Amino acid sequence: MSVALNIAEGMYSRGNNRGARYHSALGSARETLACLEAAESCGYVNATDVALVEQLKRVVGTLVKLVAA
């Protein structure tokens, strides 16, 4: 949820605030990916949906580009 909210907030921000929101979204997306991996490792969930993980990795990649811009 945090990822989507920070992206939305960044879209309507200006200047340094925009980059800060995208940076927060990037951190949250990476945390989400780590949580999925940890939950799978600990056996809390069965195999994580590969499509979901790949989509999240694409979101991370896009956010990396936005933060660097």
Q: What is the 3-state secondary structure (H, E, C) of 19-69?
A: HHHHHHHHHHHHHHHHHHHHHHHCCCCCCCCHHHHHHHHHHHHHHHHHHHC
Domain range annotation of the chain: 2-68
pLDDT in tens, 14-65: 877 888 888 999 999 999 999 888 888 888 877 767 788 889 999 999 999 9
Token pair 């929101």 in the structure block, residue: 21
pTM (predicted TM-score): 0.79
